[in-house]
């Protein structure tokens, strides 16, 4: 028997024995950046869960613990990319930001309305993307699986996503649950490159979509905590996400 044929028969025979042994299983494939992010997206409901709806309204609280601030929070999203963020800091007043599909803007007490530019505009536009919480790895110049590490006392997998600009997102995934546990973002801003650590957890199901109901952001300057109390679908219309008049006056025809 030719040697090559013998080797093929041995391989087939070994595979047959493996299948015949009770409890035997094929070796698990090593995780990749693509498989880890795809697993998370599937567990939260995937694109199908979002495509079933035209809008989302998230209601909760916005807290800056070091300043003793706890404020009501409302986030409105309308497919494909209309967005409004609203919170009110008591006597300080209402803070708004949003995206109308083209322009990113903000309104703050004492500052008035401004149109956002560059990195700040991009951050708001990313928030406005109705499908933005799912992982579209084609948006990055490079995606790679990094070594496992510890986050808040537990082992996590790390996926590093690098934009063409050099801005980097390292996202942490819990290998047990398969869900995202947070991220480290390194981005350029008006004051140079900055790091933001975000921790997410307490996932809850709202109409077939699993949402992280606790988001904590940490920077060298502050720590803020967003708590999501409720999520409503298909209750937001176009008028609800329209920029206020003070913003519309800044937008060139």
pLDDT above 90 covers what percent of the chain?
71
Total length of the chain: 253
Report the C-alpha gap between 198 and 115 in whole angstroms: 26
Give the residue from 229, 202, 224, 232 showing the smallest Cα distance to 214: 202
Per-residue pLDDT of the chain (253 residues; tens, 9 = 90+): 444 433 333 333 333 333 334 454 545 678 999 999 999 999 999 999 999 999 999 999 999 999 888 999 999 999 999 999 999 987 788 999 999 999 999 999 888 899 999 888 988 999 999 999 999 999 999 999 999 999 999 999 999 999 888 889 999 999 999 999 999 998 765 556 778 999 999 999 999 999 999 999 998 888 999 999 999 999 999 999 999 999 999 997 7
Quote the CATH superfamily of domain 28-88+117-243.
Lipoprotein localisation LolA/LolB/LppX (2.50.20.10)
pLDDT tens sequence across 204-253: 999 999 999 999 999 888 899 999 999 999 999 999 999 999 999 999 77
The pLDDT of residue 168 is 92
Report the C-alpha gap between 84 and 92 in whole angstroms: 19
CB 215 within 8 A of CB 224: no
CB 160 within 8 A of CB 144: yes
């Amino acid at each position: 028997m030719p040697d090559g044929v013998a080797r093929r028969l041995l391989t087939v025979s070994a595979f047959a024995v493996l299948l015949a042994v009770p409890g035997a299983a094929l070796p698990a494939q090593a995780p990749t950046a693509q498989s880890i992010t795809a697993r998370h997206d599937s567990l939260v409901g995937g694109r199908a869960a979002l495509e079933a709806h035209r809008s989302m309204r998230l209601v909760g609280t916005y807290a800056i613990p070091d300043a003793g601030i706890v404020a009501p929070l409302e986030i409105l999203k309308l497919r494909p990319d209309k967005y409004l963020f609203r919170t009110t800091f008591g006597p300080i007043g209402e803070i708004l930001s949003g995206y109308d599909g083209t322009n990113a803007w903000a309104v703050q007490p004492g500052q008035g309305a401004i149109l956002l530019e560059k990195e700040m505009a991009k951050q708001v536009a990313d928030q406005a993307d109705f499908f933005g919480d799912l992982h579209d790895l084609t948006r990055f110049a490079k995606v790679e699986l990094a070594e496992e590490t510890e986050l808040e006392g537990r082992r996590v997998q790390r996926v590093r996503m690098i934009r063409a600009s050099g801005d980097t997102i390292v996202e942490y995934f819990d290998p047990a649950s398969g869900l995202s546990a947070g991220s480290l973002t390194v981005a350029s801003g008006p004051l140079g490159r900055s790091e933001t650590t975000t921790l997410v957890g307490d996932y809850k199901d709202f109409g077939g979509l699993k949402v992280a109901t606790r988001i904590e952001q940490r920077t060298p300057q502050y720590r803020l905590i967003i708590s999501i109390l409720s999520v409503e679908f298909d209750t937001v219309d176009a008028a609800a996400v329209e920029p206020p008049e003070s913003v519309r006056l800044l937008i060139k025809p």
